[in-house]
Amino acid sequence: MEKIFYADKTEYPRSETAVQKLLREHFGLENAVILKTENGKPYLQAQTPLFFSVSHTDSLLFVAVSDTEIGIDSERLSRKTDYTSILSKFSELERKNVRSREDFLRLWTAKESVVKYLGKRLLTALKSIECYENKAFYQGRELPCKLTQVTFAEHILTVCGKNDWSAAEFIKF
């Protein structure tokens, strides 16, 4: 059940409103109560086999929904960024694989999707996460998840989860 829902970000000033609408219209969950962990990871209060993760860029909002724990991150492929100063926060192996801005965006979305999967805070977890060959490592240990990267509507998305998301269904809401 790998589904990625997307919407124009301007339609939803608050991502919680978008998630509630999505849960109501596509999963029949009326009045879903969304709580957050102490690190800010959103989850559903009700006992339900649904997990979700949210990401947005300046133009689109993405919500990945699964029956297992997930994390998603997205970046617009045309995003201009000077990534050289951030590279020092990455491992030597990761730095070797960054040869272009697009390589950096792929690595960045991978790392951020792992942060969301784990429910950690970005600044404290960034140096503890290493991503390469579609695998994620935290504090030197391989995590029981896969990193799937897809390109959609001029965006790179990385989903961290137990399942392969390469054939995920994209649904506009």
List the chain domain ranges. 3-172
Alpha-carbon torsion angle 165, 130, 104, 2, nearest 10: 10
Give me the pLDDT at residue 46, please: 76
pLDDT at 128 > cutoff 80: yes
The percentage of the chain sitting over the pLDDT mark of 90, rounded to a whole number, equals 86
Q: Where does 37-125 have alpha helices with state H?
A: 92-96, 101-118, 122-125
The percentage of the chain sitting over the pLDDT mark of 70, rounded to a whole number, equals 100
Mark residue 31 as left, alpha or beta (left: phi above 0; alpha: psi -120 to 50; beta: remaining): left
Alpha-carbon torsion angle 6, 9, 14, 16, nearest 10: 0
For the residues 89-95, what does the mean pLDDT come to? Answer: 92
State both tokens at 71: 């994390």
